[in-house]
């Protein structure tokens, strides 16, 4: 199994009465609750955590894209990916956004991902999400009736821009470019492509058709996720695809401590902050008309937030033990967590776990404790699961010895650095 350390980067200073005084954490969230001076520490703490996780040997470090959102402070995940490309050595850069239809021209996505892949020596995983209705339709103004058309066209354009060595003209319905000629180009061509989805049936077919990884990014945990993942695997089988657990990723809240009791003492309040304040979304922003396709509506599947918000409102009112029993959160001693993680692997049949080890207003040092416990006392025990399958959805970086070494990169002592001329010597 592979484990990616992922952080939504929530704003940790939402007031206690947030849900009573404000209607939504997203789209029209009160900007007066944001403090740029405090954000200096918040961003740097979160980036420290990502680098810390990479040093501990997590397979990947993950970031994603949200707009006008107090639980996701990354309107531009590519900015985060670029600094991680410099400040980490071996971890995959799991860039689970950019939402393709938000970029005009979408070749911008192809360019930026190529830059990150070059800087990181081929460690990029490129996520191609449609994006949530809150982000795409309400915060960024993309028309829900044409969002999916635009997304598909942007996808085709990016794939062609990465692969076609010649200049070409793109005369699409939504994008017209007379001269497409990508500079730079990615080392991996293409980088592994992961499709973050909520449960739209078309997404499954799309993943099957292109052999992409399907990443189910739910916040409602593995027990609720089981039914949906079962649908994904069944659909793949119907379409004649060979089963490989690495074709799927699942996001799960996880926290580890010495004992079950310590886990509750350390983490419960931060889980409650996440489920009550961070997921407090105005239903009017959950699902713009046209965001869901007719097939998805008819399948009775709920959109990302519409479906989850009912489940998650429930999570906020559960006891700690119920949160664990219902799978919203995996928590406890290393033994308890390893046992629950094994259940995740077996019931969802996923090879990649997007580990949400930071949630809500969890402070840096608390998160480091949990992150380290998981890396050292849980991962080694569950790592061998799915060992018989080959992972075709992770990056294939340049050989370590051939890669450039950034100066002052954490976790490296570059012997050649001392020999390099400093500016003072050159001048």
Partner 1 sequence: MELKTIRVGHEGRTVHYYRAGQGKPLLYLHHLLGIRGFEPALAQLAAHYDLIAPFAPGWGPAKDDLPDIDPGALDLTLHYCDLLDALGVTQADVVGISIGAWMAAELAAISPQRVAQLVLVNPLGLWLDDVGGEDAFAQHPGFPSRVLFSDRSMREKLFIAGRDKMEAHVEELLNLRAGAKFLWPIPDTGVKRRLPRIKARTLIATSERDTIVPAAYGPAWQAAIPGAQLTTLPDAGHIAELEQPDAFSALVRGFLN
Asked if 298 touches partner 1 (CB under 8 A), the answer is yes
Report the residue from 75, 172, 290, 406 that binds partner 1 according to the rule CB under 8 A. Answer: 290
- Count residues contacting partner 1 (CB under 8 A)? 22
Nearest alpha carbon to residue 249 among 94, 376, 65, 399:
94
CB atoms within 10 A of CB 427: 6
Nearest alpha carbon to residue 236 among 192, 206, 194:
206
The secondary structure of residue 332, as a DSSP letter, is: E
By beta-carbon proximity to partner 1, the closer residue of 147 and 256 is 147
Task: Identify whether the C-beta of residue 151 lies closer than 8 Å to the C-beta of residue 100.
Answer: yes
Report the residue from 294, 365, 388, 402 that binds partner 1 according to the rule CB under 8 A. Answer: 294
Report the residue from 79, 145, 239, 417 that binds partner 1 according to the rule CB under 8 A. Answer: 145
Asked if 138 touches partner 1 (CB under 8 A), the answer is yes
Nearest alpha carbon to residue 384 among 338, 347, 340, 348:
338
By beta-carbon proximity to partner 1, the closer residue of 35 and 104 is 104
Asked if 297 touches partner 1 (CB under 8 A), the answer is yes
By beta-carbon proximity to partner 1, the closer residue of 175 and 369 is 175
Task: Identify whether the C-beta of residue 360 lies closer than 8 Å to the C-beta of residue 278.
Answer: yes
Nearest 5°: the CA angle 277, 283, 253 is: 40
Report the residue from 19, 146, 314, 364 that binds partner 1 according to the rule CB under 8 A. Answer: 146
- HEC secondary structure over 173-227: CCCEEEEECCCCCCCCCCCCEEEEECCCHHHHHHHHHHCCEEEECCCCHHHHHHH
Asked if 288 touches partner 1 (CB under 8 A), the answer is yes
Asked if 202 touches partner 1 (CB under 8 A), the answer is no
The alpha carbon of 258 is separated from its chain's Cα centroid by a whole number of angstroms, namely 27
Nearest-approach distance from CB 282 to partner 1, in angstroms: 8
Q: With CB under 8 A as the contact rule, which of the stretches 114-122, 239-247, 288-296, 386-394 interacts with partner 1?
A: 288-296
150, 154, 155, 159: CA torsion to nearest 10: 160
Cα–Cα distance measured from residue 213 to residue 248, given in angstroms and rounded to the nearest whole number: 5
The neighbouring-strand residues paired with 4 are: 60, 354
Tokens for 320, please give them: 């700690």
Report the residue from 141, 240, 384, 387 that binds partner 1 according to the rule CB under 8 A. Answer: 141
Report the residue from 240, 289, 415, 421 that binds partner 1 according to the rule CB under 8 A. Answer: 289
Binding mask 157-176 for partner 1 (x = CB under 8 A): --------------------
By beta-carbon proximity to partner 1, the closer residue of 143 and 163 is 143
Report the residue from 306, 385, 398, 405 that binds partner 1 according to the rule CB under 8 A. Answer: 306
Q: With CB under 8 A as the contact rule, which of the stretches 50-58, 136-144, 228-236, 267-275 interacts with partner 1?
A: 136-144
Cα–Cα distance measured from residue 290 to residue 37, given in angstroms and rounded to the nearest whole number: 39
Q: With CB under 8 A as the contact rule, which of the stretches 144-152, 337-345, 349-357, 358-366 interacts with partner 1?
A: 144-152
The residue ranges that bind partner 1 (CB under 8 A) are 137-138, 141, 143-146, 149, 283-290, 292, 294, 297-298, 303, 306
């Amino acid at each position: 199994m592979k484990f990616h350390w992922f952080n939504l980067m929530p704003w940790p200073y939402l007031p206690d009465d947030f849900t009573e005084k404000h209607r939504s954490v997203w789209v029209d969230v009160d900007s007066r609750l944001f403090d740029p001076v405090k954000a200096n520490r918040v961003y740097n703490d979160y980036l420290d955590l990502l680098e810390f996780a990479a040093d501990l040997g997590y397979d990947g470090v993950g970031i994603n894209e949200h707009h006008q959102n107090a639980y996701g402070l990354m309107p531009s995940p590519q900015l985060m990916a670029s600094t991680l490309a410099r400040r980490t050595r071996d971890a995959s850069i799991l860039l689970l956004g950019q939402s393709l239809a938000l970029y005009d021209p979408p070749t911008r996505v192809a360019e930026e991902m190529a830059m990150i892949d070059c800087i990181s020596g081929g460690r990029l995983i490129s996520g191609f999400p449609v994006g949530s209705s809150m982000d795409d339709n309400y915060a960024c103004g993309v028309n829900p009736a044409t969002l999916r058309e635009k997304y598909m066209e942007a996808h085709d354009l990016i794939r062609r821009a990465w692969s076609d060595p010649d200049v070409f003209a793109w005369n699409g319905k939504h994008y017209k470019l007379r001269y497409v000629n990508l500079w730079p180009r990615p080392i991996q061509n293409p980088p592994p492509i992961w499709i973050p989805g909520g449960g739209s049936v078309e997404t499954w077919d799309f993943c099957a058709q292109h052999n992409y990884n399907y990443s189910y990014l739910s916040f409602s945990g593995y027990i609720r996720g089981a039914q949906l993942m079962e649908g994904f695997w069944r659909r793949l089988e119907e379409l004649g695809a060979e089963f490989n657990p690495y074709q799927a990723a699942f996001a799960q809240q996880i926290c580890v401590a010495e004992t079950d009791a310590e886990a509750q003492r350390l983490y419960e309040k931060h889980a409650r902050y996440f489920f009550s304040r961070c997921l407090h979304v105005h239903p009017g922003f959950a699902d713009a008309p046209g965001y869901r396709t007719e097939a998805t509506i008819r399948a009775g599947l709920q959109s990302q937030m519409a479906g989850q918000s009912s489940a998650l409102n429930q999570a906020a009112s559960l006891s700690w033990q119920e949160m664990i029993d219902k799978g919203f959160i995996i928590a406890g001693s290393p033994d308890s967590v390893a046992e629950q993680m094994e259940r995740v692997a077996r019931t969802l049949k996923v090879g990649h776990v997007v580990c949400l080890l930071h949630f809500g207003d969890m402070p840096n040092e608390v998160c480091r404790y949990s992150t380290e416990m998981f890396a050292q006392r849980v991962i080694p025990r569950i790592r061998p699961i799915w060992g018989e399958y080959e992972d075709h959805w992770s990056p294939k970086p340049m050989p370590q010895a051939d890669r450039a070494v950034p100066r002052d990169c954490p976790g490296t002592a570059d012997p050649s650095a001392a020999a390099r001329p400093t500016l003072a010597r050159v001048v």
